[in-house]
Homo-oligomer: A and B are copies of this chain.
Amino acid sequence: MTELISHLRSAVGAAHVLTEGDLAAWETDWRKRTRGKALAVVRPASTDEVAAVVRACAAAGAPIVPQGGNTGLVVGGVPDASGREVVLSLTRLNRVRGIDRDNLTMTVDAGCVLQNLQQAAADAGLLFPLSLAAEGSCTIGGNLATNAGGTQVVRYGNTRELCLGLEVVTAQGEVWNGLSGLRKDNTGYDLRDLFIGSEGTLGVITGATMKLYPRPAATLTAWAAVPSMQAAVTLLGLAHRHLGAGLTGFEVMGQFALSLVAKHYPQLRVPLYESVPYCVLLENADAESQEHARSVFERLLEVALEDGCAADAVVAENLTQAHQLWHIREAIPLAQAEEGLNIKHDISIPVSRIPAFCAETDALLQREIAGVRLVNFGHLGDGNLHYNVQAPAGGDMKAFLDENEERVNTLVYEQVKRFDGSISAEHGIGMLKAGKLPQYKSKVALSMMQALKRALDPENILNPGRVVAL
């Protein structure tokens, strides 16, 4: 291994091969579920250096764990405990290579922090719409490797839909320049989308060309109380019809989730939630003007109130009020942590089936596990729920989790399967769910995934054991 370290040092400079001292920042996952042990943390500064690192590791048979901002939620970007894996950190590749206003694209290094890219687009008078909780530290390379979702998916799609081209270092240490500002290119297989979402197991993303959009003239936020999940789905349909592509956010929040926010953050003043099972947060981005945004939004809510799918509603009067409403939505995960331990799920279900899924699964869990409390919220516009399970009030929460976590997961995942859903809508598979995948993915799909992994990474050098086991 000394030879490998020395090759890595000559590839990226000795200062950027870390083997001693506190490497916890690279070895511990975001939610602090695991702490691994890296052979080394290597921090190349260019695509060519990444390629040299991959070639050195491949020659030595050392597994590589690509890492961006290390904010992933499925233990996909940290080393295992073997001490054999090399963490390949991309954060020094942090240059915006160029912004093309006429083409509405931005070409960037993989290690750029998401928030910096939002800002770079804004500075050019444009919008880069990807937005998620970790945006202050996650990198675009990580967003691409995990096909991150976020709050604007209902309008702009996942990270996949925002990407036009990639630069990738292959498992053989070759550079594929697939950077493209093209919106149409039918010259062969879709390599781009194969790397997106593959969590560093097929290649190392080093650069990307991303789509930009005009900045909307106005963005308005509304809050509606709805009498049922079915009513929320009906309201979503009305919102699509009235706002068209102006609908940029549609979040649903269960009453218990909101009650936790009200309890732990009373200063946030949660509106309209006390007499209804769900509230909905809607966002409307308008290409025209503030006045126009307000008039179509008010018309929508008028129709929804007449229809009965909304029981009550308010439109934020100004930006401050809009931020307050979003703040409530974003405070749910914090409030549930304040309340105590809980079991998290990141699932998706066809939108039309969500009401039945929630009714059945709520009842099932309450029947099976006495006192269990359901913190249900998420991106209803995308069919994506964070369907979380909170330990019963009082009692020993740790003991509850130890006893019930596996069982709760199985109950929820089996329901997801029955409803043709996904056990990981946004967060990916990583190490955390790699063992679960064979139960919830078809044999045919799994065997194709294995064949693809073997085809592109025959030595199983890239993030081995994550996503798909060979």
Instruction: Spell out A's residues near B (CB within 8 Å).
Output: 100-105, 146-147, 149, 153, 155, 157-158, 160-161, 170, 174-178, 180-191, 193-194, 196-198, 202, 213-214, 216, 233-234, 236-237, 240-246, 285-288, 296, 348-353, 379, 382-384, 420-429, 433, 437, 440-442, 444-446, 448-449, 451-456, 467-468
**A104 and B240 form a contact (CB under 8 A):** yes
**A287 and B244 form a contact (CB under 8 A):** yes
What are the residues of chain B within 8 A of A184 when measuring CB–CB?
Answer: 149, 153, 158, 348, 379, 382-384, 422, 425-426
Q: How far is the CA of A379 from the CA of B183 in the complex (A)?
A: 11
Q: Among B190, B296, B348, which residue has its beta carbon within 8 angstroms of that of A182?
A: B348
**B182 and A103 form a contact (CB under 8 A):** no
9 interchain pairs, CB-CB under 8 A: A175-B444, A186-B429, A187-B424, A187-B440, A190-B196, A244-B246, A448-B456, A454-B455, A455-B455
Identify the closest chain B residue to A164 (Cβ): B350
**B437 and A187 form a contact (CB under 8 A):** yes
Given A161-B161, A445-B176: A467 in contact with B188 (beta carbons within 8 A) = yes
Identify the closest chain B residue to A104 (Cβ): B240
What are the residues of chain B within 8 A of A424 when measuring CB–CB?
Answer: 185-187
Given A188-B468, A422-B187: A178 in contact with B456 (beta carbons within 8 A) = no
Q: How far is the CA of A379 from the CA of B421 in the complex (A)?
A: 37
With most chain B CB atoms within 10 A of its CB, the pick from A186, A191, A453 is: A186
**A186 and B427 form a contact (CB under 8 A):** yes
What are the residues of chain B within 8 A of A285 when measuring CB–CB?
Answer: 244
Q: How far is the CA of A384 from the CA of B183 in the complex (A)?
A: 8
| Least distance between A316 CB and chain B CB atoms (Å) | 20
**B425 and A182 form a contact (CB under 8 A):** yes
Q: How far is the CA of A234 from the CA of B234 in the complex (A)?
A: 40
Q: How far is the CA of A404 from the CA of B384 in the complex (A)?
A: 56
What are the residues of chain B within 8 A of A427 when measuring CB–CB?
Answer: 186
**B350 and A182 form a contact (CB under 8 A):** yes
Identify the closest chain B residue to A457 (Cβ): B451
**B445 and A186 form a contact (CB under 8 A):** no
What are the residues of chain B within 8 A of A467 when measuring CB–CB?
Answer: 188-189
Add 20 more A-B contacts to A177-B444, A178-B445, A190-B190 (CB < 8 A).
A102-B236, A102-B351, A147-B190, A175-B444, A176-B444, A182-B348, A182-B420, A183-B348, A183-B382, A184-B379, A185-B348, A186-B425, A186-B427, A187-B437, A189-B449, A189-B453, A189-B467, A190-B194, A193-B193, A241-B287
